[in-house]
Chain A
Amino acid sequence: MAPFFKYGFFTEQTGLIIALILGVSFGFWLERAGFGYSRKLALQFYFKDMTVLNVMFTAIVVAMLGLLLFSLFGWLDITKVYINPTYLWAQLIGGLILGVGFAIGGYCPGTSVVGAVTGHVDAYFFLGGAMFGMFVFGEMFPSLEGLYNWGAMGDVRLSDVFNVSSGVVALAVVILAILFFLGGEWLENKFGKEGV
């Protein structure tokens, strides 16, 4: 039964090799989508190229439905799949800060790695900046600890806070994704789609 690693199908060493292989696939698809190129990512924020939103929501819907179906068929124990713990205010504020950095820097951490290996010089400056920002966070950590833990809610899912079943949340996510796809296409046409 899945997740295989949690049921002892293979060792931690094998897990690292799987990490490498999954990483190859992750990097490949990011590059295929055009995410190694900062301007393509940033044009999202001017409604001229909605690729970021389309790729992210397609990926979320595919992985989410896969998890739910496998768990429904009894192939996967969902309680053994890692869920990001929620720290509501820390993640809201951190997200706002990260978003500002996204519009200015043009990359996010994963895409900047793809940008760097495909020869984008700005990605190297971004990576240097990101490591500097993380260093500053680490240095300031003792005084940031309260903020870092603000809004701790544990491993909560949307279905817990809205008190509905996972299936209902999944349906809402699928509808939201379709609305984003259609809305994105409309916005691209309105704001002048740019083929990059």
Chain B
Amino acid sequence: MKEKPYWSPYASGLGLGITLLLAFVLMGRGLGASGAMMRFTTALVDLFAHDHVMANPYFAKYAENPFSNWLVYEILGVMIGGFLSGMLAGRNKWRTGRGPNIGKHKRWLYAFIGGAIMGFGARLSRGCTSGLALTGGATLAVGGWVFMFAVFAAAYATAYFVRKQWI
């Protein structure tokens, strides 16, 4: 099946906005992503070093019933929804996202490094692009807006140095 084009950003934005609004109306809370990842991370560490997790106040907070959590269910849904949309558009196939001037192995290394930096940053800010910028942005939270502008400022400033990866 030939890949179908992506939908208009405004149509997708409207769909996302309504989803976020429904979360506010039904649950009184927004969407998120990095909180669920922290729970998976903690559960993984807990498998190998339970006492160590319990001795650390930050890990311990996430260690009790790590998967019986709103964000974990939401992220399971994201997996299903993303897969369905990709399937309907003929986009589900193995590949590596990269620009024309970088090999896939180098790109994998950059993806890991960038992910590590982002994981650290997301915990320091208590949220990521979904949980803090999008949700905090819509509720007009001061921290959400400060965070959003900081993210874009730093990303634009860094872009020049990693341009071989993308353009």
Whole-angstrom distance between the Cβ of B148 and the nearest chain A Cβ: 7
Residues of B within 8 A of A31 (CB): 81-82, 85-86, 89, 91
Give the nearest-CB partner of A152 in chain B. Answer: B143
Give Cα distance in the complex from A15 to B84, angstroms. Answer: 22
The distance in angstroms between the C-alpha atoms of A2 and B21, with both chains bound, is 11
Q: Decide if A20 touches B108 in the complex (CB within 8 Å).
A: no
The verdict on A175 contacting chain B, using a C-beta distance below 8 Å, is: no
Are the CB atoms of B16 and A30 closer together than 8 Å?
yes
Q: Mark B5-29, 1 if CB is under 8 A from A, else 0.
A: 0110111111111111111111111
> Which B residues from 48 to 73 make CB contacts under 8 A with A?
56-59, 68, 70-71, 73
We find that the number of chain B residues with CB closer than 8 angstroms to chain A is 125
Closest B-chain residue to A132, C-beta based? B116
Q: Is the CB of B117 within 8 A of A20?
A: no
CA distance A120 to B94 in the complex (A): 6
- Central interface residue in B33, B116, B150, B154, by most chain A CB within 10 Å: B116
- Interface residues, chain B, CB within 8 Å of chain A? 6-7, 9-34, 37-38, 40-42, 44-45, 56-59, 68, 70-71, 73-86, 89, 91-99, 104, 107-159, 162-163, 165-167
Binding site for B on A (CB under 8 A): 2-6, 15-34, 36-40, 42-46, 48, 50-51, 53-64, 66-67, 70, 76, 80-88, 90-123, 125-139, 141-142, 144, 147-148, 153, 155-161, 166, 169-170, 173
| Given A110-B32, A118-B82, A129-B112; 9 other pairs, CB 8 A cutoff | A20-B73, A38-B111, A56-B137, A63-B24, A100-B117, A109-B33, A122-B98, A129-B117, A157-B140
Q: Which 5 pairs, one residue from A and one from B, show the smallest C-beta to C-beta distance?
A: A23-B77, A105-B114, A58-B13, A129-B115, A133-B119
